[in-house]
Amino acid sequence: MSNKKIVILGAGLAGLSAAWHLQKKKIECSVFEKEPAVGGLCRSKKIKGFIFDCDGHLLHFRNKYTLQLVRMLLKGNLVSHKRSAWVNSFGIFSRYPFQANLCALPRPIAKECLFEFLKASQTYQDNTPDNLLKWINITFGKGIARHFMIPYNEKFWTVPLDKMISAWTDNFIPVPRPSEVIEGFFAENKHHFGYNATFWYPRQAGIGQLPLAFEQQLCNVHKGFGISAIDIQKKELNVAGKEKIKFDTLISTIPLPELAKIIRPLPGNIMDMFKKLRWNSIFNLNLGVEGGCQEGRHWIYFPHKDTVFFRVGFFHSFSNNTVPSGKSAIYTEVAYSKNRPVNKNKIIPKIINGLKTRGILGKKNRVSVLDINDIKYGYPIYDKYYLQATAAIGEFLSHNNIIACGRYGSWKYMSMEEAILDGRRVADKIIR
Ligand SMILES: Cc1cc2nc3c(=O)[nH]c(=O)nc-3n(C[C@H](O)[C@H](O)[C@H](O)COP(=O)(O)OP(=O)(O)OC[C@H]3O[C@@H](n4cnc5c(N)ncnc54)[C@H](O)[C@@H]3O)c2cc1C
């Protein structure tokens, strides 16, 4: 048993996983969570019989260890699904990924996408493109870029793509081979592309069951206790503006911009690095509706500006236990940022109108429940300052015995699986 005091900030998946891996090895630690419940972004709530997650949250496993861990935690409450994902553009639905399923598109558009892709794939590139826009054009050619990749990514990231780097794309954007793009030009592609071709989801009670299962196996999880100040010289935390507690090692999963507000003293050059961090926010509107809706489809991408949302998904397709009998549940996602704000007084009618004009909500689908999750920290933006700022902040934190962990603690485009693995990485580091 360690006599060093280890404190974990935040009981999202990363903080819970760090605590679970430490406590499994009989190393004491305490977790402080500002909200009254664990889970962070990975939580669910029940409203009038509908189980809504905080936006769509599906488990994708690249790693056997995580699948086994989650299976053990959820004790059979886990079902695997083959993705049925779609893109809505040019008035039709084509299968995701767009770049590998050109067959459903109007012929001139499909031809342009194919020819430009083949042209790009034959052009020798001897250097890595220095921005996302160039990466898209070089990787997919000007057709796929113009008709999907550029509008979708601009809508999603909310910033010009030539201001972003492409360091995050490997894990998230599937790049098919020329033969596969040709195959998809003639018929729907049989290959399963990308990290999310299969996903897992609880049979009962939504994705929030996962953090609850972690919590059941843990001691010293203090909910409703936000950390309001961190004195790195005294190694002392201020809990909820009242109690002070000491730490030897601090694991922080709270978003870096929030950490900058409470950590003292903070040298000017490091403060400047924190100020360089950028992110988008996600306005998530969940809807409970009467009647069936888009049966068999899991989610749909909307790349163009004519709809306010960039993606819409269907909780009832992940598990029909998430809705009362004869009803459906939809999640919608709108990205915004300082660079591209949204008017929150007008956004809900805009979303509902968009759902109607795109045929997602039909005449029989009366909306009976609305649930809003305004997610301030959505996706860290990988701009030209990203690498310099995160490296300098990471070094400063580690010099002060603060281990950055999780999606917002490490400031990375991380999935739930990666957040769990990051918690394990940090625990292993301490154990070693
Ligand atoms: C819109 C959206 C959709 C996503 N969809 C998917 C998906 O389908 N599949 C997937 O695998 N991943 C998805 N993700 C990613 C996934 O949500 C995250 O990787 C994971 O939940 C991050 O866990 P975390 O513990 O790192 O962070 P969080 O879940 O953010 O946990 C941080 C915790 O810190 C707490 N906290 C903050 N400040 C303080 C403070 N001062 N004191 C104490 N506690 C504090 C917060 O309340 C929170 O509980 C999605 C993310 C977003 C934004």
Q: What is the residue with the minimal CA distance to atom 37 of ligand 1?
A: 254
Q: What is the mean pLDDT of residues 192-209?
A: 91
Distance 90 CA to ligand 1 centre (A): 34
The CATH classification of domain 44-83+196-207+279-380, taken from the options 3.90.660.20, 3.40.50.300, 3.90.1170.40, 3.10.50.40: 3.90.660.20
Predicted TM-score (pTM) of this structure: 0.96
pLDDT tens figures, 241-286: 778 999 999 999 999 999 999 999 999 999 999 999 999 999 999 9
Confidence band, pLDDT 50/70/90 cuts, at residue 3: low
Q: What is the mean pLDDT of residues 387-395?
A: 97
Confidence band, pLDDT 50/70/90 cuts, at residue 125: low
Distance 250 CA to ligand 1 centre (A): 18
| Residue 310 buriedness (CB in 10 A; 0-12 / 13-18 / 19+) | buried
- Comparing CA positions, the residue from 81, 53, 49 lying closest to residue 323 is 49
pLDDT tens figures, 157-168: 999 999 999 988
Q: What is the mean pLDDT of residues 394-398?
A: 96
Would you say residue 8 has pLDDT above 50? yes
**Residue 258 in 3-state DSSP?**
helix
User: Does 41 sit in the ligand 1 pocket, CB within 6 Å?
Assistant: yes
Would you say residue 2 has pLDDT above 70? no
Q: Which residue has the tokens 């961190």?
A: 230
pLDDT tens figures, 215-249: 999 999 999 999 999 999 999 999 987 789 999 99
The CATH classification of domain 6-42+212-277+382-431, taken from the options 3.30.300.90, 3.50.50.60, 3.30.930.10, 3.40.50.300: 3.50.50.60
The gap between the terminal CA atoms of the chain, to the nearest Å, is: 13
Q: What is the residue with the minimal CA distance to atom 5 of ligand 1?
A: 57
Would you say residue 1 has pLDDT above 70? no
Distance 111 CA to ligand 1 centre (A): 41
- Region(s) of the chain under CATH 3.50.50.60: 6-42+212-277+382-431
- Region(s) of the chain under CATH 3.90.660.20: 44-83+196-207+279-380
